[in-house]
Amino acid sequence: MQDLIPLWSHYQKGLREAGCDEAGRGCLAGPVFAAAVVFPVDYFNPVLNDSKKLSEKKRSALRTVIEQEALDFAVASVSAEEIDKINIHQASYLAMHRALDMLNVPADYIIVDGNKFVPYQTVPYTCIVKGDGKYLSIAAASILAKTYRDEYMHNLAAEHPDYDWLSNKGYPTVKHRNAILQLGLTPHHRKTFRVTDPQLRLF
């Protein structure tokens, strides 16, 4: 794995920032998870980075570090049923809002991975494209959201082994899509996500 560039500790210097990110947006099954992380002002960790750039083992180890060293953190989710009702975009924002609701340390400012966000109460915010590879609190949120969601899908996998959730975590892999086309949807699938689109069919 290539060397990772250390991330920025803050976006607005001197403010208590909550970094937010989600995991599972593109999945066919399971909830979307989001996390909010507040680090001490000028916190630094040279190995903390975007969850997608880290191995599963490194993410797991960093999850423990984040939970020990953050001023506060929270992880929340929005179910597949809720996603079908309000769409995945709104569900992602809702999951972030739920995480922010759970914080005991109020944030002065919010920084969010991506280019869109629904305002949270009256707290000012900034959207940062690829923010999980630029700011520590967003990177930490990406790690927590990813590891908590993976753990959730691991627990579900025993109920429906044919869908290979232990490996794909609900993402649209070849084996997962074929299982859906052969066996149908489980109660944990997002029923508004199109799986039989011609571009996704594999037979």
What are the pLDDT digits (tens) for 120-152?
999 999 999 999 999 999 999 999 999 999 999
Give residue 75's pLDDT band: very low, low, confident or very high (50, 70, 90). Answer: very high
pLDDT of residue 10: 84
What are the pLDDT digits (tens) for 28-59?
999 999 999 999 988 999 989 888 889 999 99
Q: Could you tell me the residue range of the domain that residue 146 belongs to?
A: 1-203
Question: Do 52 and 17 contact (CB within 8 A), yes or no?
Answer: no
- CATH at residue 1: 3.30.420.10
Kindly state the average pLDDT of the residues 99-107: 95
Task: Compute the chain's Rg from CA coordinates.
Answer: 17
Lowest mean pLDDT among 60-64, 95-99, 151-155, 172-176: 172-176
- Owner of token pair 């990177």: 139
Report the domain count for the chain: 1
Report the C-alpha gap between 32 and 47 in whole angstroms.
26
What are the pLDDT digits (tens) for 144-201?
999 999 999 999 999 999 999 999 999 999 899 999 999 999 999 999 998 754 444 4
Single pTM value for the model: 0.92
Residues with Cβ within 8 Å of residue 111, at least 6 apart in sequence: 11, 17, 18, 19, 20, 125, 126, 128, 131, 135, 137, 138
Q: Which residue has the higher pLDDT, 62 or 53?
A: 62
